[in-house]
Chain A
Amino acid sequence: MWTRFFTRKVHWADIIVVAVLVLFFGYIWIQIDGKLNYKWQWERIPTYLFRYDEDSERWVANVLIQGLLTTIRISIFASLLAIVLGVILGMARTAKNLTVRMLARTYLELLRNIPPLVIIFIFFFFLSEQVVTALNIESWAYAVSRSENVAIWEFFFGDMRRFPSLISGVIVLALFESAFVGEIVRSGIESVSKGQREAAQSLAMRWRDEMQIVVLPQAFRKILPPLANQFIVLIKDSAIISLVSVQDLTLRAVELANSTRMLFETWITVAVLYFVLCFGLSMLFRWLENRAKLVPD
């Protein structure tokens, strides 16, 4: 592919496009460097990724990597929960029972037609103020943070004292994404031919077996690529839960940029981290998809 790219003739229009881009970015650079009198401090950024801990004498993650790990944790947990909710929603959307269908439709339309930010504020304050307090999660998390096997808990959930806000963030994000996952699942279920379900029914299968053995396995094969894509979308969407003080990558970046005044360096670094994560995953999924195609079904 690359050799073909280079051996292809460069058109004069390409040169103009490149020249315009160089001029444009050069101009911006001059503006920042000259007129704004911005002092670049790139050399300080690595210490905010990893720092050397004098006490334990080893390198540990600093704010940006901590934030990245929190983002990854939240994305994984929220995706798992969103898939569970989405499968339920998708099945409800294709149910025979009208009430079930209407309830699913209402849930979906509510989530789809309210800005995500507003949903997140509503759910978050409800969740963290009411549910988290009611379930006594806060005192439980503090107890865990002082217990002996805290290392295992921290591997999965990060700093346990931040657990209540993490779990609220996960739930909020999962509720929001479940609407989209639900629609993907619905399309998958509907793509399974009617004959398949009739064959299952004529074998006297229960609705549960019909779904579990015949419909969902076939549906999932078809919807795996869009589901993987939705996972990447969720990682990007997770940035908005920084607004409800979940210490993800974005919130950590806000704090860092404010305290050090390294606005450009911080945000460019954060952009690169998000890009590497999402682009890396999308390449991985594409590779897996191509590999799956080699296996006959």
Chain B
Amino acid sequence: MIEIRGLGMYFGKFQALSNVSLSVEAGEKVVICGPSGSGKSTLIRCINRLEEHSSGQLFVDGVEIGEETRNIRNVRMEIGMVFQQFNLFPHLTVLDNLTVGPVRVRKMSRRDAERRARKYLQRVHIPEQADKYPSQLSGGQQQRVAIARSLCMEPKIMLFDEPTSALDPEMINEVLDVMVELASTGMTMICVTHEMGFARKVADKMVFMEEGEIIETAPPEEFFNHPRSKRCQMFLDKVLEH
């Protein structure tokens, strides 16, 4: 589904990614962790080309992403993205946030789009908030709306960029629950997160990054119990201490 080969990327002189290779199968759940500034977000933002990589190759569903990609929009239609800061459209109601993609991009009729929107609001357990504005919802509810907004495009892949990092602690679980449920539907997911409990529960593959490189890739049991690299061990000790 996603094939990354030797990806490199610079912000000016700073090397954000160097020689990153990773492949994700359809239906696979990959959790990426690592200290801040290690390039985790940059990596998943390259997948739907919110960042442009400077070397290496990146394929999504067989299509190479790069300068020559004729229609990046066709690729983006198949990739949902959930941001740390939700990025809901504040001037639109929850329902409009959800329907705007299907109506404008997928050229769906308003009625069908609304039906679909209500279905996914149900899926994220807030069907009653459809007519409110994002600012009237709690952080956890907003993030669930953001997940529903991405799902309304019925993508093949979902990318999560630290979806719980901006939330109050008591709201983290309601978002993680939705993500666990989503994982059980067979969606291909790549999550950047520090929620190790969630990772243990859903991940097929754990990826540890540091300073723009992938240090370790392993199945979760092996990753949590017998990490091969020292740096990964140190990171896990810090995160799992409490």
Residues of chain A having any CB pair with chain B under 8 Å = 193, 195-196, 198-199, 201-206, 209, 213-214, 217-218, 221, 296-297
Q: Which residue of chain A has its CB nearest to the CB of B102?
A: A203
Residues of chain B having any CB pair with chain A under 8 Å = 48, 50, 73-74, 76-77, 79-81, 83, 85, 87-91, 100-101, 104-105, 133, 135-136, 149-150, 153
Cβ of A204: which chain B residues have Cβ within 8 Å of it? 73-74, 76-77, 101, 105, 153
Q: Which residue of chain A has its CB nearest to the CB of B106?
A: A204
B85 touches A195 (CB 8 A): yes
B77 touches A297 (CB 8 A): no
Q: Which residue of A199, A206, A209, A297 is within 8 Å of B83 (Cβ)?
A: A199
Cβ of A193: which chain B residues have Cβ within 8 Å of it? 87
Docked Cα-Cα span, A204 to B60, in Å, equals 15
B100 touches A203 (CB 8 A): yes
Smallest distance from the beta carbon of A233 to chain B beta carbons, Å?
A: 27
Q: Which residue of chain A has its CB nearest to the CB of B76?
A: A204
B105 touches A201 (CB 8 A): no
Smallest distance from the beta carbon of A207 to chain B beta carbons, Å?
A: 10
A202 touches B76 (CB 8 A): yes
Cβ of B50: which chain A residues have Cβ within 8 Å of it? 198, 201-202
Docked Cα-Cα span, A196 to B85, in Å, equals 10
Docked Cα-Cα span, A281 to B48, in Å, equals 48
A297 touches B87 (CB 8 A): no
Cβ of A205: which chain B residues have Cβ within 8 Å of it? 73, 101, 104-105
Docked Cα-Cα span, A221 to B92, in Å, equals 13
Cβ of B153: which chain A residues have Cβ within 8 Å of it? 203-204
Q: Which residue of chain B has its CB nearest to the CB of A220?
A: B91
A195 touches B83 (CB 8 A): yes
Task: Count chain A CB atoms within 10 A of each CB in B79, B81, B87 and give the residue with the most.
Answer: B87
Task: Count chain B CB atoms within 10 A of each CB in A193, A203, A204, A214 and give the residue with the most.
Answer: A203
Docked Cα-Cα span, A199 to B124, in Å, equals 19
A209 touches B105 (CB 8 A): yes
Smallest distance from the beta carbon of A196 to chain B beta carbons, Å?
A: 6
Cβ of B76: which chain A residues have Cβ within 8 Å of it? 201-204
B100 touches A213 (CB 8 A): yes
Smallest distance from the beta carbon of B82 to chain A beta carbons, Å?
A: 9
Q: List 12 A-B contacts (CB under 8 A).
A: A193-B87, A196-B87, A198-B83, A199-B88, A199-B89, A202-B76, A204-B73, A204-B101, A204-B153, A209-B105, A213-B89, A217-B91
Docked Cα-Cα span, A49 to B213, in Å, equals 79
B48 touches A209 (CB 8 A): no
Cβ of A218: which chain B residues have Cβ within 8 Å of it? 89-91
Docked Cα-Cα span, A217 to B97, in Å, equals 14
Cβ of A206: which chain B residues have Cβ within 8 Å of it? 73, 104-105
B105 touches A203 (CB 8 A): yes
B149 touches A203 (CB 8 A): yes
Q: With A198-B50, A199-B89, A206-B73 as given contacts, are A297 and B133 in contact (CB-CB < 8 Å)? A: yes
Q: Which residue of chain A has its CB nearest to the CB of B89?
A: A214
Cβ of A203: which chain B residues have Cβ within 8 Å of it? 76, 100-101, 105, 149-150, 153
Q: Which residue of chain A has its CB nearest to the CB of B101?
A: A203
Q: Which residue of chain B has its CB nearest to the CB of A196?
A: B87
Docked Cα-Cα span, A217 to B92, in Å, equals 10
Q: Which residue of chain A has its CB nearest to the CB of B84?
A: A195
Docked Cα-Cα span, A163 to B149, in Å, equals 52
Q: With A203-B149, A205-B104, A209-B104 as given contacts, are A198 and B133 in contact (CB-CB < 8 Å)? A: no
Q: Which residue of chain A has its CB nearest to the CB of B79?
A: A202
Q: Which residue of chain B has its CB nearest to the CB of A200?
A: B89
Cβ of A198: which chain B residues have Cβ within 8 Å of it? 50, 81, 83, 87
Docked Cα-Cα span, A198 to B44, in Å, equals 13
Cβ of B48: which chain A residues have Cβ within 8 Å of it? 201-202
Task: Count chain A CB atoms within 10 A of each CB in B80, B85, B104, B153 and give the residue with the most.
Answer: B104
Smallest distance from the beta carbon of A157 to chain B beta carbons, Å?
A: 36
B85 touches A297 (CB 8 A): no
Docked Cα-Cα span, A239 to B48, in Å, equals 53
Docked Cα-Cα span, A257 to B80, in Å, equals 70
Cβ of B149: which chain A residues have Cβ within 8 Å of it? 203
